[in-house]
Structure 1
């Protein structure tokens, strides 16, 4: 049996509510918010600058626990929380404690779906804990609700060997759903790795939050073995594995791969693996690593972006980046570009791909040089898309109910690796091309009837508190996007069509986001235990994404600025890791070129050392994505080899090609030189770096 994932600071069941935890501002996220506001610093190109920056005074967001706003905001969030939980309450069967997948906007129980999933059940459990801790119900009532749900879970039919739950159950009876209620089509019973991940994480919440239910929740958690999903040969090119999307215990009608990674009876795996890093599916990987059933090295097997070669030009845009090694595994740290932002994309470009795992695992805190940089950039990019690029006036895009019927995948197309992306208006496919491999076909389109999904905006609450709250108020006021159960699932902004429906998954994301914000990581604190601290945290802490809020300009550091040198045979400096650097003289002649290494350093030998005089230099880098970043103008002075008449010396009238001669319009002309300077003794003005 694994150690119970219980919080070390567990309280007595009926003890008074503790005071709010101290705010734990995340230094890197706070520094990034300052960058987005115009500070303009460079993020993590070198080992020194990769260290977390000092926190700034950002009362509105900036990472986990980064500010709760004023009292009016707190009251607003509590109102939204209460109404949102009402929708979950309305779609939960009181006899089984199982929440339906969705319900109509009027919260009539007759409109609730006749099916639910492990994710939905898990979301209801953590939402009940948040509702209790924020005063919406008594501890006794919350415990009674969770008891009912756990007792039903203990009796559900599931895969005996792995302990995994099937994907669809009847919330009224707990029976597996054999035929779809609407169509009557048969259901092929699937066991999803990600859906079981969300339920397992919720069981950790219950075990930590409610001591009287800790044994029951821990027993269920311990019975779930995520190693059943792990294919150790998923990335043979790297020698590490990946997790499968899930399996069936009977052969399905479509594609499947027979086997069993734990050596038991044959199951039938999905033909695909979960192979992208920015994905909600990483929750299953995290739990497998935490439990010791999936090796930590599997974290390095997923793609940050796909490779930046023409063989991979089907992906949305050409990434730039650099390869780093972690635990002996080479990882291409690629990023996509959006305006001046560089960030690691998801598969489709939705908010919940990037931020849903962050609700339960303190990614920004534990990984300040990767997730701590990327998460606020995702929020910023989604915001810019809605307000600026598409001009919707509102933002927040994730898969949700389609206002015109059914379900659809929404996102910011250019932030997803999938070539046709998740489209924010459902129709407009942006194509930026793939630098050097294929031309753009639709780089600057006009967007149509964009669909905003409020739960996606809520996920950004800790990173842009003011922006999120204002955006949601506008959706409620301008678009009639709010009902008896909180925000409706989605709204089409130009037609005004509202999906007057509530999805339990999306509602539980809202509850977790509000709980984390108002109580400084409330849900995360319940999920994290010593096992996760020991097995997962060190893995996340290693990584350095290539994400940045501002372009990384090339800088010359050798020769030192302000110095005058005898000769220039070698130049060195810093720049964007992985980019190609060029140094050019005033006459347009290239002095030297270099590739910037993984630590952001470059050096190159000057093919033809310049003669005496003042030389103006231009630096620039161009990355794989074709983005060119210029550096600041610099000059370097080469002193004479000797005075007039000295062998090898220059006469006063001699001029070398490409040399900038000091004169009346040169601010360096006439500058005082240090005592003993040979140029002063030769009658020439000293010229410094500028």
Structure 2
């Protein structure tokens, strides 16, 4: 069990979370002008049905996934901090969309918070480990599906999604603050912050991927950035790519006042255009700028006639999941406001024009052939061995002009069985509403892609194979998108009231990406 919230963190929390009745930081969503499509009400009701079916009736915690028929027997026997956060913010969205009433919202979130308080956590950081049994609340040390050993790991990004949900509860469900605030107040993201990751002369560091409290197999580095309690065993990597879902760690930590706002500029937009970085997908274009004393290479990639800041793997989840909570296009008028629409256009161009699937929307999801896999647009990701859009893993390699050892390879003559996931389309709906609505209509009319819990998780559009199951994370992204688009940007409003508005918005307004306006 976690010890009571520390005084210092509780005081910081009181300063950074909004007081009741504070004004909204985010403007009304663009959907107010275009109107909700005819299917929006059923999308929300059906998607919420899957979230409710995943919740264990005794603990209120969701399973990681459930079968397509929503049978309780098909619930996974494991869950994560991200899954729990997704369930909580989905309940807030469902209430705002009038899918459930206020009483049910409070009951469901209250039960989940009670269970969160009982979960075993890392004592000195207040962080949750990655995997628990949602029915017994036990920390998993043996994987329930195959009996393999689990080494408890406290992921920085998974804890960030849960913290975001707790911040939303503070503002959206004030009657539950007495339960949510102590949990959030104990979470110290400074435990992940390596202030020296970019060297002693750069006044901004990077976030570690997470840590183990016990020595794990494989690579780890022993340390304790907060010098509180015993040393932990950090991942050997830090998160160096900013256009990724991992930037949510930075958003939460800055909003809570736990790392300096200058950290916003620590991660790379692209890596520099020198041969020292010639492993990245292509040679970027751009220039160096400086913000708050931090040198930033404002690099960009080019694909299908578009210029944009890439993600790590080239998928929609990385690009747009943090945008569900932070109004990036409003707070970053010369950065995200330019990049997000172009990134969506690149994904559409890949599916419709380059790969010629007749469909688009690429993001990590269930593999229709079984299991789980990362999908994306390889050309739109930093990683040379990035995520691909088809089952055959058809990749590209543009080389790195001017450097030995990285000649460009011929582009693919054709692509295979492309895999699209509806959650990617819902994430894109803010920036391409007509295209997104048309794609969802195609998926539903051409495939057996819709069940009692809404859209199934993915479709292999060449073979027509459908992954008939629901994932808490993916359904949670759909609920978040719908809650924002047709519920007055509810999750953005409730996340940003307080520290995000105070600490995060000013630094976001400073930056200019190497993305031309008006593409």
**TM-score (normalised: structure 2):** 0.94
C-alpha separation in 2, matches of 1:479 and 1:432:
34
C-alpha separation in 2, matches of 1:441 and 1:316:
11
C-alpha separation in 2, matches of 1:408 and 1:320:
30
Match status 1:482 vs 2:450: yes
C-alpha separation in 2, matches of 1:146 and 1:126:
9
Indicate if the aligned counterparts of 2:25 and 2:497 stay in contact, CA closer than 8 A.
Answer: no
Match status 1:532 vs 2:500: yes
1:125-170 C-alpha deviation (Å, 9 max, x unpaired): 0000111111111111111111100111111110111100010010
CA deviation after TM superposition for structure 1 residue 172, in Å: 0.5
C-alpha separation in 2, matches of 1:141 and 1:336:
46
Q: Report the secondary structure of 1:297's partner residue.
A: helix
C-alpha separation in 1, matches of 2:35 and 2:232:
53
Indicate if the aligned counterparts of 1:279 and 1:347 stay in contact, CA closer than 8 A.
Answer: yes
| Correspondence for 2:483 | 515
CA deviation after TM superposition for structure 1 residue 8, in Å: 4.3
CA deviation after TM superposition for structure 1 residue 239, in Å: 4.4
CA deviation after TM superposition for structure 1 residue 431, in Å: 1.6
Indicate if the aligned counterparts of 2:350 and 2:360 stay in contact, CA closer than 8 A.
Answer: yes
| Correspondence for 1:330 | 295
Distance 1:472 1:141, change over 3 A: same
- Structure 1 residues 645-660: aligned runs within 5 Å: none
Match status 1:140 vs 2:103: yes
Equivalent residues, number? 502
Indicate if the aligned counterparts of 2:44 and 2:97 stay in contact, CA closer than 8 A.
Answer: no
Indicate if the aligned counterparts of 1:341 and 1:548 stay in contact, CA closer than 8 A.
Answer: no
Indicate if the aligned counterparts of 1:401 and 1:408 stay in contact, CA closer than 8 A.
Answer: yes
The answer for unaligned runs of 5 or more in structure 2 is 1-9
Q: Report the secondary structure of 1:191's partner residue.
A: strand
Larger radius of gyration: 1
C-alpha separation in 2, matches of 1:134 and 1:533:
25
CA deviation after TM superposition for structure 1 residue 7, in Å: 5.8
| Correspondence for 1:429 | 395
CA deviation after TM superposition for structure 1 residue 407, in Å: 0.7
C-alpha separation in 2, matches of 1:240 and 1:134:
40
- Structure 1 residues 62-77: aligned runs within 5 Å: 64-67=29-32, 69-70=34-35, 73=37, 75-77=38-40
C-alpha separation in 1, matches of 2:116 and 2:25:
35
- Structure 1 residues 549-560: aligned runs within 5 Å: none
Match status 1:465 vs 2:433: yes
Farther off after superposition, 197-206 or 472-481: 472-481
- Structure 1 residues 99-114: aligned runs within 5 Å: 99-114=62-77
Q: Report the secondary structure of 2:442's partner residue.
A: helix
Indicate if the aligned counterparts of 1:65 and 1:516 stay in contact, CA closer than 8 A.
Answer: no
Indicate if the aligned counterparts of 1:69 and 1:466 stay in contact, CA closer than 8 A.
Answer: no
Say which structure is richer in helix: 2
Indicate if the aligned counterparts of 1:201 and 1:527 stay in contact, CA closer than 8 A.
Answer: yes
C-alpha separation in 2, matches of 1:210 and 1:423:
40
C-alpha separation in 1, matches of 2:121 and 2:500:
26
Distance 1:177 1:22, change over 3 A: closer
- Structure 1 residues 381-420: aligned runs within 5 Å: 381-420=346-385
Query: Which of 510, 516, 519 is the matching residue for 1:548?
Result: 516
- Structure 1 residues 233-632: aligned runs within 5 Å: 233-236=196-199, 238-264=202-228, 265-426=230-391, 427-437=393-403, 438-548=406-516
- Structure 1 residues 10-89: aligned runs within 5 Å: 24=27, 64-67=29-32, 69-70=34-35, 73=37, 75-89=38-52
C-alpha separation in 2, matches of 1:443 and 1:7:
55
Q: Report the secondary structure of 2:197's partner residue.
A: strand
CA deviation after TM superposition for structure 1 residue 66, in Å: 4.8
Q: Report the secondary structure of 2:34's partner residue.
A: coil
Indicate if the aligned counterparts of 1:430 and 1:445 stay in contact, CA closer than 8 A.
Answer: no
| Correspondence for 1:200 | 163
Q: Report the secondary structure of 2:187's partner residue.
A: coil
CA deviation after TM superposition for structure 1 residue 458, in Å: 0.6
C-alpha separation in 2, matches of 1:3 and 1:271:
30
CA deviation after TM superposition for structure 1 residue 247, in Å: 0.2
Farther off after superposition, 430-439 or 202-211: 430-439
CA deviation after TM superposition for structure 1 residue 261, in Å: 0.2
C-alpha separation in 1, matches of 2:190 and 2:446:
48
| Correspondence for 2:7 | none
> What CA RMSD, in Å, does the superposition of the two structures yield over aligned residues?
1.7
C-alpha separation in 1, matches of 2:345 and 2:192:
34
Q: Report the secondary structure of 1:277's partner residue.
A: coil
Indicate if the aligned counterparts of 1:233 and 1:241 stay in contact, CA closer than 8 A.
Answer: yes
Say which structure is richer in strand: 1
Indicate if the aligned counterparts of 2:362 and 2:424 stay in contact, CA closer than 8 A.
Answer: yes
Match status 1:158 vs 2:121: yes
**TM-score (normalised: structure 1):** 0.71
Q: Which has the higher contact order (CA 8 A, sep 6+)?
A: 2
CA deviation after TM superposition for structure 1 residue 371, in Å: 0.9
1:511-554 C-alpha deviation (Å, 9 max, x unpaired): 00011101231111011122221111111111000112667xxx
